[in-house]
A and B are shown apart, each in its own frame.
Chain A
Amino acid sequence: MSGTQTLFIWSVKADSRSVHPHIVRAAFAGFMLLAMIGAWGTSLSGFAPGLQFFRYICGLNVVIISVAGISYFVSAVTEEKDAGTLALLRLAGASPLSIILSKSTSRLIGSLMLLLIQMPFTFLAITLGGVTWLQVVAAYLALAAYLCLVANMALFCSVRCSTSGRAASLATAVLALFFLGGPVLREASLLKGVPWLTPRIQRACAELYDQQQMLNISVRLEQLFSTMTGVRLVTSQFWSSLLIAGVFFGLSVILFNRYAAPEQTGNEGLSAGMRRLSLGRCWKLAITWKDFHFATGGKTFFTTKLLAYFTLIAALAWFHQLESPGASVWLSPDLTRLAFLLIAVAFTIEILLFASNSLFQEVRQTAIPQLKMLPLNTITIMLQKVIACMIALMPAVIALASLYVYDRMAVSAVGRYDLPLIRNQANDPTGAIIGWLIFVGVCTHVTVLLSLYVRWAALPLAVFLTVIAYPCIGAAAIALLEITGRTAAVNGISVGVRIGVVINLFWLWLFVLLPIEVELVNRWNRLSQESAN
């Protein structure tokens, strides 16, 4: 056990010496305090905002844990594989259990610390009303169990995959399958008129759905928030999560040696001809070509995404036809909105993943001096990288544009077609679109900047910081939009909202994004110099 102890202590020491985790924890505590003050302000107007505040905090924790799972925990073992130091650890006599315990436990403890520091603040929420201490403790136990589940699932991905990128992809797929699997299973269990969905299969789907609901952290939190009486500290969600986490951990230990061998390199993979066909010749914008093919997946991934998005739309259309055989439109308004939202979410995730990976890949491969030596200035390099990401995002854009065009056609074809995307006045999408633009704009910039500072976890940190900053920026944006719109209406200017949008985007760029961009360029230049030392 001495090896395990040494590695574990080393990991904990490294974590405690590093200033970044402490900054994150302090920032989170500060954010909690601000949220508490905000909630207290709300309570002055007669409401009891404790529950609402606590619900918000718990939702934020779920998001952060999930994002940390696909970015921070997945690198527990793969960071050693990426650096080529795993073999050294094994040569030093460290057993798989030692390595896994030391590498994963320190991260798990660090994350549990993040939950722990919230506890005193959330207890203050009790005084605001609407939530009891038992609910608070039960919610944090559920979150801790979910954290263990995600951390060990990510650990398994880290053991199984040869690189951090692949591990992150696998973990993302598992989490997506878990959360999206519930609704799909429920629909499958209720669907009628499909020949191959026999009652037996539907029963199995229903049982699986029940299991998924039992394990689902969102369901457990909703249960906790829905009642103040009869709250149980631990439920089957807690024990099931720990059990599955244990299974993942055991699998990681058992399979460690099998997948610890370094990645086989050489000429395997596509033949030269196929590779040339897939990659093509280097474009005039060389960095765009490189990033498109080697950072965002290239033509293969581009085609796969395009097919996936249109398969989703086709599946929903098929589903709509099953439910309403004589329907005059391919997609009902609800399903159109669902398809739009799903693709928009995928689009947003893609943007954020590209943002976290684009420059970080250069840092990881220590390629910044090489790029710096090119007769291109830093801004040109950055712009070429942005163009590569934009090309890779085209499948989602095409799918979203197709849905929009379909919506317009449906509106013109069917007079009373009430599509919430555009025509529903009660649910005006302008604010949502502006809000989304602000979120994505700020979050991508912060992610890119953080990817030049931290080894991993730039994305969850950026999401966290953006969520903190969002109320300030978003409120200012919405207020400015409202002022501009009303002023324009008073003066008879019909394009008032559009002017407001333009002004919003301009000030967002000038006061928020531009300083980040300047710091980004400076940091890039500093990194190219630091590599000289």
Chain B
Amino acid sequence: MGLDGVMVPLVTDAEKAQTAEAINHADQLTRWRSALRGKVRKAGADRLLNYVSDRRDVSTQRLKGRGREQIQRRSPRCTHHAQRQQPMESLLAKPFSHKNSAPPEILARPNVVNNGSLLAFSDDFSDKVPELGGPVFHSRRRADRQNFMAPIYDSSTIPAVTVSELTHAFKSQQALNQVSFAVMPQTIHGFVGPNGAGKTTSLKVICTLLKPNWGEVHVFGHSVRSDPTSVREKIGYMPDHFSMYRQMTVFEYLEFFAAAYGLKQEQRDQVITDVLTLTDMDGRRETLLSGLSRGMQQRVSLARVLVHDPDLLLLDEPASGLDPRARIELMDILRELRRLGKTIFISSHILSELAELCDSVTIIDRGHIRFSGPMDALLDAEQGHRRYSVRFSQPPESMIQQLEGLSGIAAVEVPEYGSSGEFSIELHSEADSNLVLSQIIGLGVPIVSFSQQRRQLNQAFMDLTTRGVPN
């Protein structure tokens, strides 16, 4: 990059701006509350709002850099309320520091520079953590790598998860091969790949269940290798084949985990009620787990990973086996959790939902990262020409010929699964879309819609991954 190495200062204008943004978030809470109130139908809505409010405050406090020791996450009721009473000005007066949330080795690295709104890295570091420098495409041949510098994150953002050169093998089978990516805090990061690509192995390494053969993984600055206990306190992991103590009721199950995470008895009732409300399971608290449907068990499993208020949720195929309604509701819950300040790392095969849900995505295939970066960068990545979709109300039979005759249009085709009257047009790279649109209007055929076509995630997935399962 050719930039001189400069330490990230503890207090910068950008960070102050972020603090102001945090206050703005708090102001938005009222609007958000009213929006949420409309969605929640149950009698426990107020409690949910309290839960949301408390956790929003926690997120706000974190943004203000007040540190973990001041937040005291394990007594949310008593401490958060007190903190809410403090005026924002007094919080602003305190110096902004990431000392409790940033990976110390990243902060200490002299090659991390602050370049306004753009975080840039010297070559060696950006190689290891490509997402920090923007999305990185890896074609099936590594020589075809393309780098894009299209950052979506603020310079002060520190990754929630940093995976660097991660390599792991099961006996003779190479599951992960120099995998590197990063997950930004308070985002939903999709993790997709074919069967046997290494998704679950990566997740298991991140959640400390598996020790990597090679490479480093840090979760909020804590190494999974040397400090797994601290990592476990910060994460909630929901495996794909989750198991439950089927002879317990929902409440007993959640209380067991709450107690195991060290919550005091007086806190457990409130926390369990909150997470059950959040997952819409508050009416089932006395039901035996063996009597729940799979969808309900998924919800309880999600509630379980929330009882200790983790910063990072690792969800492995959370929507598998769920009916469409349950899937949609699950996605809503995940969005709400993101708003509450959680970072969500989700592995899933349901690409259409991931495309709507995720801020960023990593595509892995046969143990190699094929893409890692913002979802928009993946979907907007064009193959040389821009595509638009135009739909007419009653197009004549010669519509294709008429469109092909317009200047700036390279090709016209009828999409295989498009609506009636819909055409897909491909513009020359230098063509002006407004000019083309005015020409189409000039044809005199009533237009229903005209929009740019984005590449679908499943198309990108097919382009970037290899057919078949690895041997």
- Decide if A286 touches B243 in the complex (CB within 8 Å): no
CB of B149 within 8 Å of the partner chain: no
CB of B288 within 8 Å of the partner chain: yes
- Decide if B229 touches A366 in the complex (CB within 8 Å): no
Q: How far is the CB of B170 from chain A (nearest CB, A)?
A: 6
**Complex CA distance for A528 and B210, rounded to whole angstroms:** 8
- Decide if A373 touches B256 in the complex (CB within 8 Å): no
- Decide if A282 touches B246 in the complex (CB within 8 Å): no
Instruction: Pick out which of these stretches binds chain B: A108-116, A287-295, A451-459, A471-479.
Output: A287-295
- Decide if B252 touches A279 in the complex (CB within 8 Å): yes
* Given A366-B243, A373-B207, also A532-B232 (CB < 8 A): no
**Complex CA distance for A366 and B288, rounded to whole angstroms:** 18
CB of A83 within 8 Å of the partner chain: no
CB of B350 within 8 Å of the partner chain: no
CB of A492 within 8 Å of the partner chain: no
* Given A369-B209, A373-B207, A373-B209, also A265-B288 (CB < 8 A): yes
Which residues in chain B, 143-164, are within 8 Å of chain A measured between CB atoms? none
Q: How far is the CB of B312 from chain A (nearest CB, A)?
A: 12
CB of A376 within 8 Å of the partner chain: yes
CB of B265 within 8 Å of the partner chain: yes
Q: How far is the CB of B276 from chain A (nearest CB, A)?
A: 14
Query: Chain A residues with Cβ under 8 A from B262's Cβ?
Result: 375
- Decide if B245 touches A532 in the complex (CB within 8 Å): no
CB of B241 within 8 Å of the partner chain: yes
- Decide if B210 touches A529 in the complex (CB within 8 Å): yes
Which residues in chain B, 228-268, are within 8 Å of chain A measured between CB atoms? 229, 232-233, 235, 237, 239, 241-249, 252, 255-262, 265, 268
- Decide if A532 touches B204 in the complex (CB within 8 Å): yes
**Which residue from A284, A532, A533 sits with its C-beta under 8 Å from B259?**
A284
**Complex CA distance for A531 and B246, rounded to whole angstroms:** 19
Which residues in chain A, 337-384, are within 8 Å of chain B measured between CB atoms? 365-367, 369-370, 372-377
- Decide if B291 touches A375 in the complex (CB within 8 Å): no
Q: Is the interface of B mostly helix, strand, loop or mixed?
A: mixed
Query: Chain B residues with Cβ under 8 A from A196's Cβ?
Result: none
Query: Chain A residues with Cβ under 8 A from B249's Cβ?
Result: 272, 275
Query: Chain B residues with Cβ under 8 A from A229's Cβ?
Result: none
Tell which of A290, A365, A366 has the most Cβ of chain B within 10 Å: A290
CB of B180 within 8 Å of the partner chain: no
CB of A416 within 8 Å of the partner chain: no
**Complex CA distance for A269 and B249, rounded to whole angstroms:** 12
CB of A283 within 8 Å of the partner chain: yes
Query: Chain B residues with Cβ under 8 A from A287's Cβ?
Result: 260
* Given A294-B247, A529-B210, A532-B201, also A286-B256 (CB < 8 A): yes
- Decide if B261 touches A282 in the complex (CB within 8 Å): no
- Decide if B256 touches A369 in the complex (CB within 8 Å): no
- Decide if B260 touches A266 in the complex (CB within 8 Å): no
**Complex CA distance for A82 and B248, rounded to whole angstroms:** 17
**Complex CA distance for A294 and B243, rounded to whole angstroms:** 15
CB of B75 within 8 Å of the partner chain: no
Q: Produce 1/0 per residue, B212-239, CB < 8 A to A.
A: 0000000000000000010011010101
Query: Chain B residues with Cβ under 8 A from A529's Cβ?
Result: 204, 209-211
**Which residue from B210, B268, B286 sits with its C-beta under 8 Å from A532?**
B210
CB of A267 within 8 Å of the partner chain: yes
Query: Chain A residues with Cβ under 8 A from B245's Cβ?
Result: 290, 294, 365, 367
Query: Chain B residues with Cβ under 8 A from A284's Cβ?
Result: 259
Q: Produce 1/0 per residue, A257-300, CB < 8 A to B.
A: 00000010111010010010001011110110110001000000
Q: Is the interface of A mostly helix, strand, loop or mixed?
A: loop
CB of B100 within 8 Å of the partner chain: no
**Complex CA distance for A377 and B204, rounded to whole angstroms:** 17
Q: Produce 1/0 per residue, B350-384, CB < 8 A to A.
A: 00000000000000000000000000000000000
- Decide if B256 touches A374 in the complex (CB within 8 Å): no
- Decide if A290 touches B256 in the complex (CB within 8 Å): yes
Q: Produce 1/0 per residue, A490-533, CB < 8 A to B.
A: 00000000000000000000000000000000000000110111
Query: Chain A residues with Cβ under 8 A from B174's Cβ?
Result: none
CB of B24 within 8 Å of the partner chain: no
**Complex CA distance for A272 and B284, rounded to whole angstroms:** 11
- Decide if B286 touches A374 in the complex (CB within 8 Å): no
* Given A294-B245, A532-B204, A532-B209, also A286-B259 (CB < 8 A): yes
CB of B200 within 8 Å of the partner chain: yes
- Decide if B243 touches A532 in the complex (CB within 8 Å): no
Which residues in chain B, 44-81, are within 8 Å of chain A measured between CB atoms? none
- Decide if B232 touches A365 in the complex (CB within 8 Å): no
In the complex, the chain A residue whose C-beta lies closest to that of B231 is A375
Query: Chain B residues with Cβ under 8 A from A373's Cβ?
Result: 207-209, 232, 235, 237
Q: How far is the CB of B260 from chain A (nearest CB, A)?
A: 4
CB of B393 within 8 Å of the partner chain: no
**Complex CA distance for A528 and B208, rounded to whole angstroms:** 10
CB of B402 within 8 Å of the partner chain: no
Q: Produce 1/0 per residue, B264-289, CB < 8 A to A.
A: 01001000000000000000001110
**Complex CA distance for A279 and B237, rounded to whole angstroms:** 27
- Decide if B261 touches A374 in the complex (CB within 8 Å): yes
CB of B290 within 8 Å of the partner chain: yes
In the complex, the chain A residue whose C-beta lies closest to that of B286 is A272
**Which residue from B241, B243, B259 sits with its C-beta under 8 Å from A282?**
B259
**A-binding residues in B (CB < 8 A):** 170, 200-201, 204, 207-211, 229, 232-233, 235, 237, 239, 241-249, 252, 255-262, 265, 268, 286-288, 290-291
Given contacts A265-B290, A282-B255, A282-B259, 8 further A-B contacts (CB under 8 A): A263-B290, A281-B265, A282-B258, A367-B243, A369-B243, A374-B232, A374-B260, A377-B229
CB-defined A-B contacts under 8 Å, sample of 10: A265-B291, A282-B252, A282-B259, A283-B259, A294-B248, A369-B209, A372-B208, A373-B207, A375-B261, A532-B210
**B-binding residues in A (CB < 8 A):** 263, 265-267, 269, 272, 275, 279, 281-284, 286-287, 289-290, 294, 365-367, 369-370, 372-377, 528-529, 531-533
Give 4 nearest A-B pairs by CB, closest first.
A266-B291, A286-B259, A265-B290, A532-B204
